[in-house]
């Protein structure tokens, strides 16, 4: 019998972590370079009623599907990243950041027709002041799509799980999804999806989808204002997609897992003592869930560990990765 809520024995948590260590997890989706400008605010601009940030330092971090891969690698599994970058300076910096993190960039396709997606955040005294993006949301062409599919096919055969990290930036297209999911089914690889509403109905038959509460509401056309609506959403998504599970992330309310065939529900209360930044929390959830499946976890075990991992990263400013050792004990034991 699987313990409900956040309870998972230390022995079982250690067993799962040991099982997924070294397993291949393929990550395919929208790659991003996250740039942070850190500083302080001491005055308002005389030119307009906006704060003047005195920038003290700058840092680069992996974002989007690259952050998913980094999370997986930090947890001890082997992340194989498949995606598209532009033929530009940001693309080179992204490759450098991947190398610095020990991640292989050998399955990336350079597309000179589009920029590397980059997001620049200005942070002052731990407060997010503004963000500006450079990106293209135009879907990739058939040639680039075919090259990605070939690369994914090369690595799926030996994979323990596949993560599709769809940020709606053009890498994931409907036609590409159909071929990719067919290849994953043939290879008997469980597919974990962090979805966008654009392609939501294309994620049929996957192991899990992990929409946040807002994304679920957008897709279904009704607000998840109470527990009854959340339960209805879980059943509706399971019915629509025929997936094994749906994990709805709910911010301060934690997470709710719904499992086929009868939409049985398990709730996981939030475990973070304090929340500084939710940037990348969804990446952490899907990363941990996929690693856990690769290690032989059932959905409720994967959700327990995903919830604990998310509780770690939201206590950091900016995108962060969880530590596998911290997933072993129940957070209630540390309060």
For 14-30, give the DSSP string.
HHHHHHHTT-EEEEEE-
Q: Which residues pair with 127 in a beta bridge?
A: 124
Are 203 and 177 spatial neighbours (Cβ–Cβ below 8 Å)? Answer: yes
Q: Which residue has 């994304």 as its token pair?
A: 215
Tokens of 329: 């004990």
194 is catalytic: no
- Which of the following is catalytic: 111, 166, 194, 283? 283
Measure the CA–CA gap between 293 and 19, rounded to whole angstroms: 10
For 200-234, give the DSSP string.
GGG-TT-SEE--BHHHHHHHHTS---SHHHHHHHH
Q: What are the φ and ψ backbone dihedral angles of 50, each rounded to 5 degrees?
A: -130, 150
The DSSP bridge pattern shows strands 127-134 and 51-64 to be: unpaired
- Active-site annotation, residues: 283
């Amino acid at each position: 019998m699987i313990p409900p809520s956040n309870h998972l024995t230390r022995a079982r948590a250690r067993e799962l972590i040991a099982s997924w260590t070294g397993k291949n997890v393929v990550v395919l989706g929208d790659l991003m370079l996250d740039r942070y400008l850190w500083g302080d605010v001491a005055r308002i601009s005389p030119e307009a009623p906006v704060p003047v940030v005195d920038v003290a330092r700058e840092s680069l971090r992996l974002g989007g599907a690259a952050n998913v891969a980094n999370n997986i690698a930090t947890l001890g599994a082997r992340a194989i990243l498949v995606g598209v970058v532009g033929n530009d300076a940001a693309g080179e910096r992204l490759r450098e950041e991947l190398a610095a993190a020990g991640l292989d960039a050998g399955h990336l396709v350079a597309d000179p027709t589009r920029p590397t997606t980059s997001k620049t955040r200005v942070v002052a005294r731990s407060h997010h002041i503004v963000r500006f993006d450079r990106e293209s949301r135009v879907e990739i062409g058939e040639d680039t799509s075919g090259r990605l599919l070939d690369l994914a096919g090369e690595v799926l055969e030996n994979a323990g799980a596949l993560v599709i990290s769809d940020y709606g930036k053009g890498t994931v297209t409907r036609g590409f999804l159909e071929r990719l999911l067919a290849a994953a089914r043939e290879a008997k690889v469980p597919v974990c999806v962090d979805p966008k509403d654009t392609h939501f109905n294309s994620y049929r038959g996957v192991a899990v989808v992990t929409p946040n509460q807002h994304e679920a509401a957008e897709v279904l056309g009704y607000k998840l204002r109470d527990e009854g609506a959340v339960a209805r959403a879980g059943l509706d998504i399971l019915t629509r997609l025929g997936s094994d599970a749906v994990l709805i992330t709910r911010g301060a309310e934690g997470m709710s897992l719904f499992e086929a065939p009868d939409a049985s529900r398990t709730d996981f209360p939030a475990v973070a003592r304090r929340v500084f930044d939710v940037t990348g929390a969804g990446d952490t959830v899907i990363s941990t869930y996929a690693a856990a499946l690769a290690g032989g976890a059932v959905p409720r075990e994967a959700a327990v560990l995903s919830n604990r991992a998310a509780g770690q990263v939201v206590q950091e400013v900016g995108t962060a990765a969880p530590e596998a050792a911290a997933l072993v004990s129940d957070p209630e034991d540390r309060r």
